[in-house]
Each structure stands twice: as C-alpha cells, then as structure tokens.
Amino acid sequence: MFRGKFVAGLDHLRQQGQLPEALDQAAWQTLKHTLHVHDWVVYAKQPLGGPLAVLDYLGRYTPRVVISNERIIGIANGQAAFRVRADSGGKKRVLRLAGSELIARFLLHLLPSGFKRIRHYGLLSPARKKVGLAAARSALAVPPPEPAIIESVTAFLHRVARLASMCCPHCGGQFRVTATLLPQCVATARGPP
C-alpha cells in the first residue's frame, strides 16, 4: 500500500511538471518498473504507552553508554554523587549533580531513533568492511593496502632490541653472554658518625 501511494504521488507530480524534464514516458515506465521490482517493507510500531514504557524502551539502549554503576557513589537529597576523572593523569574526584541535571546529561548521549553506532554501520560494519572499503578505495583510485608483513621472532628481536649493535665491530660475530656480573658494593671508609 505504501509503495502504491508513493508511486501515485510521484505520478501526480510528474503530470504537474514538477519532476525533471528528462523523465519522458519511457523513462517514467522504466522508473515505475524499478520501483515495483522490490518489496517495500515498512516497519511501524504502536506508540509507546506512557513514561514507564519509554523508560523501559530507552533502558535497553543505555547499558555501559555513559556511566557505570561502579562510578556511582550514592544518591541522597535529590543529588547523585559519582566519580569522574579529575585530570589526564587518571586521578578521580567526586562530582555531585541534581538528579534532573544528571538525567539531562545522560540523555545527551542517547542516539536518536534510526541512528546506529559508527562501529556497526557503513563502510566499517563488520559484515561488509572488506567489500565496502575495497569499493571506496576503487572509487577514490587509492591503491589497496600493503599486506601485513609477518616477521620472524629473531628478526623482531633484532629490530626492537637493536641486537645488531651486539656484534663485534671487527669480525661481525655476535657477542655471547658467558657470565653475568652482579654489581659489587664497595665499602667506603667513613669516619665515626
């Protein structure tokens, strides 16, 4: 029904000349056929019934979004006390907010209806990341990324620990640890205190 009403509305606009002029009768028939090829599934839900239903609905989307239960210290006299980061060093401090202000700040972090988190949507969605990124690279004429180079453990240690500097400058042979010398405490001659 939705598809029929939508196409009828487009046809009405076309007859009034409000659609592009390039849409002649043949192009219009092709467009109509294209629109009718796919099923149009419209998802509609009954409106939420009251504040408790709204809270129940929103509650499913809010776990671990803004503040965890471990950070909330207490709620008293209409105020909530919770731990926040005080500085970039990781120190914590206690912040107290009125309940209405806490809820207002909390609701700023909820996504509007129809929006998805970026890690689950678009080019970076797990289901189509490989194909989507390849198509984007192709459209932008960007070369594919170089394959990951897996190096051996020995090569990794040589690179990271700079083991090449542990070679003899004359023959190029590697130094070998034959003994470990522990630091020696040297007794100093001190006078009486």
Q: How far is CA 163 from CA 92, 134, 155, 173, in A?
A: 42, 39, 9, 12
Whole-number pLDDT of residue 32: 85
* DSSP conformational letter for 38: S
Average pLDDT over residues 151-170: 68
Whole-number pLDDT of residue 193: 52
Question: Looking up tokens 């390849």, which residue turns up?
Answer: 134
Average pLDDT over residues 166-176: 74
Average pLDDT over residues 92-111: 86
**Which pTM value belongs to this model?**
0.29
Whole-number pLDDT of residue 96: 92
Q: What residue ranges do the domains of the chain occupy?
A: 2-37, 60-107, 116-142
Share of the chain above pLDDT 90, in %: 2
Q: For residue 151, what are its two tokens? A: 């190096």
When the pLDDT of each residue in the chain is averaged and rounded to a whole number, the result is 76
Whole-number pLDDT of residue 131: 83
Nearest C-alpha neighbor of 72 from the set 106, 23, 31: 106
Whole-number pLDDT of residue 48: 64
Whole-number pLDDT of residue 121: 58
Whole-number pLDDT of residue 119: 53
Residues 17 and 28: their CA atoms lie apart, in Å, by 13
pLDDT in tens, 47-78: 666 667 766 666 555 445 567 778 888 888 88
Average pLDDT over residues 97-110: 85
Q: For residue 118, what are its two tokens? A: 């970026």
CA 60 to chain centre: 19
Whole-number pLDDT of residue 63: 47
